[in-house]
């Protein structure tokens, strides 16, 4: 019986190593050692360190876009924003290494990835940002949201999302639910008109 692929283990280990050391300092040799593979075998799974980074970032962007697709098309801006924020907090509370790497390394992608991959990532991120901006603007137009700076609010929400994976480790499902509920209400209370 053939051995199962260790690609999942390589992916998870690379995420941890890049989180701990940063992309620039992490080496393929170190990742291979941590997984217990020789460097040549590691290249069987990923042809380069940049291929690992691209996949780590792509997986998180695609997961976020999938969450966006779950936001109901109908409903008030407040209801829809609550669902968008809740889904995102629930996601970031579970994917620690991968999301830390996402938020840590995204600002440097043009230095670490080929231009076509940079453009691809930015185009997908733009879909998320457009959706969020439109939802915020609609809430302002309907009077549900305060008259606010849409970009400042969107990037502030992203900032909170980006920090959760650094510190939160759920001890129980209830602890995660409580965190998601608290942070969702924190965001909504900041934008909904009183």
Average pLDDT over residues 180-190: 96
pLDDT of residue 96: 86
Note whether 18 and 86 are same-domain residues: no
The pLDDT confidence band at residue 127, using thresholds 50, 70 and 90, is very high
pLDDT tens, 130-146? 999 999 999 999 999 99
Do residues 7 and 63 share a domain?
A: no
pLDDT-based confidence at residue 4 (cuts at 50, 70, 90): low
Grade residue 1 by pLDDT with cuts at 50, 70 and 90.
Answer: very low
pLDDT (tens digit per residue) in 13-31: 999 999 999 999 999 999 9
For residue 39, what pLDDT is reported?
87
User: What average pLDDT does the structure give for the chain?
Assistant: 94
* Number of other CB atoms surrounding residue 1 within 10 Å: 3
Q: What is the CATH number of the domain that holds 122?
A: 1.10.357.10
- In tens, the pLDDT along 22-65 reads 999 999 999 999 999 988 899 999 999 999 999 999 999 999 99
Q: Are residues 78 and 137 in the same domain?
A: yes
CATH of the domain at 33: 1.10.10.60
Query: Based on the domain organization, do 37 and 64 belong to the same domain?
Result: no
Q: What is the pLDDT of residues 81-114, one digit of tens each?
A: 999 999 999 999 987 899 999 999 999 999 999 9
Kindly state whether residues 91 and 184 are assigned to the same domain: yes
Residues 137, 71 within the same domain: yes
**Domain interval for residue 33:** 1-47
Q: How confident is the model at residue 2, as a pLDDT?
A: 44
pTM (predicted TM-score): 0.90
Domain count, the chain: 2
- Euclidean distance between CA atoms 96 and 118, whole angstroms: 23
| 103 & 122 share domain | yes
What pLDDT is recorded for position 47? 95
């Amino acid at each position: 019986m053939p051995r199962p692929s260790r690609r999942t283990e390589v992916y998870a280990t690379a995420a941890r190593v890049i989180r701990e050391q940063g992309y620039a300092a992490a080496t393929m040799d170190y990742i291979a050692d941590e997984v217990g593979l020789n460097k040549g075998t590691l290249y069987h799974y990923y042809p380069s360190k940049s291929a690992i980074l691209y996949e780590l970032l792509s997986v998180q962007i695609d997961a976020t876009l999938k969450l966006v697709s779950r936001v109901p098309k109908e409903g008030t801006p407040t209801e829809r924003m609550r669902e968008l924020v809740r889904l995102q907090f629930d996601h970031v509370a579970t994917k620690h290494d991968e999301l830390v790497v996402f938020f840590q390394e995204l600002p440097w992608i043009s230095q670490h990835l080929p231009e076509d991959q940079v453009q691809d990532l930015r185009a997908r991120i733009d879909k998320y940002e457009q959706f969020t901006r439109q939802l915020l603007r609609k809430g302002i137009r309907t009077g549900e949201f305060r008259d606010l700076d849409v970009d400042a609010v969107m990037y502030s929400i992203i900032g909170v999302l980006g920090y959760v994976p650094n510190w939160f480790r759920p001890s129980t499902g209830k602890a995660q639910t409580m965190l998601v509920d608290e942070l969702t209400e924190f965001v909504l209370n900041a934008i909904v008109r009183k």
